[in-house]
Amino acid sequence: MDEFENRVSRLIALALEEDIGDGDITTNAVISTGDLLTGRVFAKQDGRIAGLKIVDMLYAQFFKDISIVFKCKDGERVKNGQKILEISGPGRVLLSTERLVLNILQRMSGIATKTNTFVEKITGTKAVILDTRKTAPGLRLLDKMAVRLGGGTNHRMGLFDSYLIKENHIEGAGGLAEAVRRVRASNAAGRSVEVEVRTIPELQEALAVQVDMILLDNMSRETMKKAVELTAGRVPLEASGNVTLENVREVAETGVDFISVGALTHSVQALDLSLIIERT
């Protein structure tokens, strides 16, 4: 089992403990041990499906007597009424895991659907849609997986895999150049270094110290265009702050390389799915 599977397994175990605890008292009272049931998940709206791999891991690792057949693939576009998957096996297991299965699929599919909408909005530009760390605590691995399935790109997974020197770091260090100097002094692993800037003078300072990437924080479209012209391709530029579906195309057309969108994961609208149970 690789690190991804290990982390997902821990997450699923916590979710099962949270929801089932020492037993699903309603299901155990109503459904007999030997009862076999079949469940079918349907889409109730159009969107992008995500989370099938996680559902597969749930049953493969924790309930091996369940049979599951997927009717589509992760990342696929689905239509209202389309069958997503079919599961069959002990009724107690199906009913006890019903909510967890739907929670996984609905949240991840909602993220994938929103991400894909942003990606399609900037078709024809060079910009790439990035996610952020604005994820539900404990669910970042799944949230960011859903972004990828929607056609977006993950920024950093956490505070450990690349440097991002932000406004408060710069203030704490006494200046942008000093913050970069301190980072480079500790960067034995050679991780990438990105700096957040808010103005053209700050951009010029960041260019002077030759960082790997520059984040343009809450800049107007005109200022972004000036930043792109001034940078002239020397350093990749990331636009961030108040990006919406209504303005993302305008942001992309300034010429920036990346656009980070916190709303992909911090304001999730679940894709509407339904799980129907029948006796086998």
Report the catalytic residues.
99, 134, 166, 196, 217
- Residue 89 makes CB contacts below 8 A (sequence gap 6+) with 36, 37, 63, 65, 66, 67
CB atoms within 10 A of CB 144: 23
At residue 111's C-alpha, the angle toward residues 76 and 127, to 5°, is: 85
Tell me which H or E stretch contains 144: helix 140-149
- Residue 240 makes CB contacts below 8 A (sequence gap 6+) with 132, 196, 215, 216, 217, 218, 259, 260
DSSP 33-81: TT-EEEEEEEESS-EE---HHHHHHHHHHH-TT-EEEESS-TT-EE-TT
Q: Are 166 and 138 in contact (CB under 8 A)?
A: no
Q: DSSP character for 277? A: E
